[in-house]
Amino acid sequence: MSAPASKGLSRALRQVKRPSLPKSSLRPTFAICQPRRSFKSTPVKREDTSEQGHKVKYTTDMYPSLKRDSRFSEITSDHVQFFKSALGDDAAVLDGVTKDAADDLEPFNSDWMRKYRGKTNLVLKPKNTQEVSKILKYCNDHKLAVVPQGGNSGLVGGSVPVFDEIVISLSRMNNIRGFDDISGVLSVDAGVILEVADNFLAEHNHLFPLDLGAKGSCQIGGNVATNAGGLRLLRYGSLHGNVLGLEAVLPDGTIVDDLSLLRKNNTGYDLKQLFIGGEGTIGIITGVSVICPQRSKAVNVAYFGLESFEKVQAAFKEAKIQLSEILSAFELMDGQSQGFVHQVTGNKNPLEGEYPFYCLIETSGSNTEHDSEKLEKFLEHVMGEEIVLDGVLAQDESQLRSLWRWREGITEAIGHFGGTYKYDVSIPIQDLYKLVEDTRERLQSKNLIGDDDSFPALGVVGYGHMGDSNLHLNVPVRRYTKEVEEAIEPWVYEWIQKRNGSISAEHGLGIAKKKYIGYSRSDNMIRLMKQIKDLYDPNGIMNPYKYI
């Protein structure tokens, strides 16, 4: 039935103002991007279906072409002795060289996704920057390869060893060094857990300008080393802008003492930027200072249905105009992604009808009344103009969490059926969803998608941070097959390359994307990057076999 616009608008707005959302006890924070570390205890289906049973395959089995770099020395008991004496504390050295410590070492050898597994026999836990310097200088002098490790919550295998690289864990460097509640500048050891810092800041009405699902375990040093993106980037920008200072240690033991607490300091090359997103390949970050914004008092969430990706773009454009300074998230979920969440959780969809696209909008501001008024006016406009077909607005925090769950729950829901081919990519916004459509068409034309068990793939799903032009392309499968893999790769990377996209928007390179960097960077850029690597790490001991 087609009703006049004004009538449809009024009906829809009533619904917007009187949502009846299912109450459920969901996770207490708005984790979206990366599942929390606690998933470790309930591994996702993808891993269960591997043929490894409980043991994770060694990375070297997954990448048989990788050979241990013969430049690196083997670790001896003399080395272990040096580290014990340098760290002055036996507990700071997990020694699997002179004795059996396999169980203790396992958490440092494998990642939380149970996807990568190394063979280290030695973990060092320095407690201050000087100790990191001593360790690195010794390793560099003795050609011992190392892997810096923070919360080990990465998604590309960057924080676990491949062979017997020494793990340098920053977990004991966990002091908040200082906070100035006038300037908002926070200074921390690299090993401070993101959530600990954010909770500390909450007590002072401030906010860490980065948030992500793994906040309960990831460390700020690791966040900076991987240039983590997460939930607050749309509003607060990237770590390249928010990190004011860094302290880091180079392989030769040099301490890069650039831990400025100043917002402005134009005195020379901004070298710290090389460590932001450097993934521990040129040095180890030991301290970070960051500018933190005021915490918002008011948070609102709305959830819409839309008929096309063109309408999604129009809604985003309107949100930027009308919500402007209070817009803190604009997330995209396609119909199929929401179908999977519904199918797996059994939760009633927030909207009555079904739509090809859904968006979740969050606003954060200092005045509840003003923000609600802006949001309602925005909703009135986008519904009146039929940019949005239907929508609901959370009336309390529980509803707000329920709505976020339709975005957050996608990863888990999709993983329910077997495995998932996952791609985290940036694409110019106009083409963002076309990748999903083209991938779907491609798999359909090869007869690889279908409703029954004879088809390996269940569908092609797209969702992500619309506000950052960051798409998560997921292909849920009943089983991993060579046909599906060959249909997708390297085709998907070529597709992205043609549109000047990025093959890794926020997850980094690690070991998983190392070989694909050429799809997003020119030969010139890769050569210049290698030049930087050689400059700082001429022996190549820092996090080898990864990155570039």
Which of the residues 445 through 484 are near a copy of itself (CB under 8 A)? 465, 468-470
Alpha helices (H) in 123-219, listed in sequence order: 129-141, 194-203
Smallest gap from residue 407 Cβ to a copy of itself (A): 17
Q: Phi then psi for 450, rounded to 5 degrees? A: -175, 175
Residue 485 touching a copy of itself (CB under 8 A): no
Strand partners, 91: none
Beta strands in 212-315 (DSSP E): 243-249, 255-258, 284-291, 298-306
Footprint on residues 28-57 left by a copy of itself (CB under 8 A): none
Q: What distance in Å separates the CA atoms of residue 249 and residue 256, rounded to the nearest whole number? A: 6
Q: Which residue has the tokens 């359909």?
A: 444
Q: Where in 156-215 is the site for a copy of itself (CB under 8 A)?
A: 180-184, 205
Nearer to a copy of itself, 319 or 341 (CB): 319
Pairing of strands 166-169, 357-365: unpaired
3-state secondary structure of 501: coil
- Which among 37-45, 48-56, 299-307, 530-538 is the span making contact with a copy of itself, rule CB under 8 A? 530-538
Of 265, 308, 343, 445, the one binding a copy of itself (CB under 8 A) is 265
At closest approach, how far in Å is the CB of 110 from a copy of itself?
22
Residue 241 touching a copy of itself (CB under 8 A): yes
The residues in 377-436 that bind a copy of itself, with binding defined as CB under 8 A, are 426-430
Alpha-carbon span 46 to 8, nearest angstrom: 43
Out of 104, 262, 397, 485, name the contact with a copy of itself by CB under 8 A: 262
Among 255, 403, 449, 511, binds a copy of itself (CB under 8 A): 255
547 makes contact with a copy of itself (CB under 8 A): yes
- Smallest distance from a copy of itself to CB 545, Å: 15
Binding flag, residue 543, a copy of itself (CB under 8 A): no
| Least Cβ distance, residue 450 to a copy of itself (angstroms) | 33
Say how far apart CA 355 and CA 387 lie, in whole Å. Answer: 13
Structure tokens at 390: 């239907």
Taking the mean position of all CA atoms in its chain, how far away is CA 535? 29
In the 3-class helix/strand/coil scheme, how is 402-468 assigned residue by residue? Answer: HHHHHHHCHHHHHHCCCEEEEEEEECCHHHCCHHHHHHHHHHHHCCCECCCCCCCECCCEEEEEHHH
Furthest CA-CA distance within the chain: 83
Length of the chain: 548
- Residue 498 in contact with a copy of itself, rule: CB under 8 A: no
3-class SS of residue 117: strand
| Among residues 118, 213, 277, 418, the one that binds a copy of itself under rule CB under 8 A | 277
Of 258, 331, 390, 412, the one binding a copy of itself (CB under 8 A) is 258
Q: Which of residues 351-370 bind a copy of itself (CB under 8 A)?
A: 364-367, 370
**178-190 b/e (C-beta count within 10 Å ≥ 16 → b):** ebeeeebbbbbbb
**273 lines the binding site for a copy of itself (CB under 8 A):** yes
Q: Which of residues 218-237 bind a copy of itself (CB under 8 A)?
A: 226-227, 229, 233, 237
Q: Contact 219/176 with Cβ under 8 angstroms? A: no
Of the candidate spans 111-119, 140-148, 275-283, 332-340, the one that interacts with a copy of itself by CB under 8 A turns out to be 275-283
Site for a copy of itself in 103-142 (CB under 8 A): none
Q: Are 298 and 415 in contact (CB under 8 A)?
A: no
The CA-atom distances, in angstroms, between 301 and each of 22, 145, 398, 400, 402 are: 15, 47, 11, 6, 10
If one asks whether residue 513 binds a copy of itself (CB under 8 A), the answer comes out as yes
Q: Which residue has the tokens 């940036």?
A: 426
CA angle 141, 146, 150 (to 5 degrees): 135
Tokens linked to 338:
């929401």
Q: Which is nearer to a copy of itself, 13 or 526 (CB)?
A: 526
| Binding status of residue 316 toward a copy of itself by CB under 8 A | yes
Binder among 115, 422, 507, 546 for a copy of itself (CB under 8 A): 507
Confirm or reject binding of residue 313 to a copy of itself (CB under 8 A).
yes
Phi, psi angle pair for 262, to nearest 5°: -100, 145
Between residues 108 and 545, which has the closer beta carbon with respect to a copy of itself? 545
Residue of 170, 197, 201, 276 that binds a copy of itself (CB under 8 A): 276
Binds a copy of itself by CB under 8 A, chosen from 113, 144, 160, 274: 274
Cα torsion angle, 79, 85, 86, 90, sign: positive
Task: Please give the residues from 427 up to 446 whose contact with a copy of itself meets the rule CB under 8 A.
Answer: 427-430
From the list 56-64, 253-261, 433-441, 452-460, the region that binds a copy of itself by CB under 8 A is 253-261
> Which of 211, 331, 412, 506 touches a copy of itself (CB under 8 A)?
506
CA distance 416 to 510: 26
d(CA 381, CA 240): 35
512 binds a copy of itself (CB under 8 A): no
Query: Contact region for a copy of itself (CB under 8 A) — 108-116, 121-129, 212-220, 255-263?
Result: 255-263
* 294 near a copy of itself, rule: CB under 8 A: yes
Which is closer to a copy of itself, CB of 209 or CB of 418? 209
Question: In angstroms, what is the minimal distance from the CB of 310 to a copy of itself?
Answer: 11
Are residues 545 and 512 in contact, defined by beta-carbon separation less than 8 angstroms? Answer: no
Tell me if 504 contacts a copy of itself by CB under 8 A.
yes
Distance CA 42, CA 39 (A): 5
- The Cα 86–Cα 96 span in angstroms is 18
Q: Residues in contact with a copy of itself, total (CB under 8 A)?
A: 93
Alpha-carbon distance of 111 to 160, in angstroms, equals 7
Q: Tell me if 519 sits within 8 A of 492, measured CB to CB.
A: no
Which member of 12, 173, 220, 256 binds a copy of itself (CB under 8 A)? 256
Asked if 18 touches a copy of itself (CB under 8 A), the answer is no
Asked if 336 is part of the footprint of a copy of itself (rule: CB under 8 A), the reply reads no
Counting contacts by CB under 8 A, is residue 538 touching a copy of itself? no
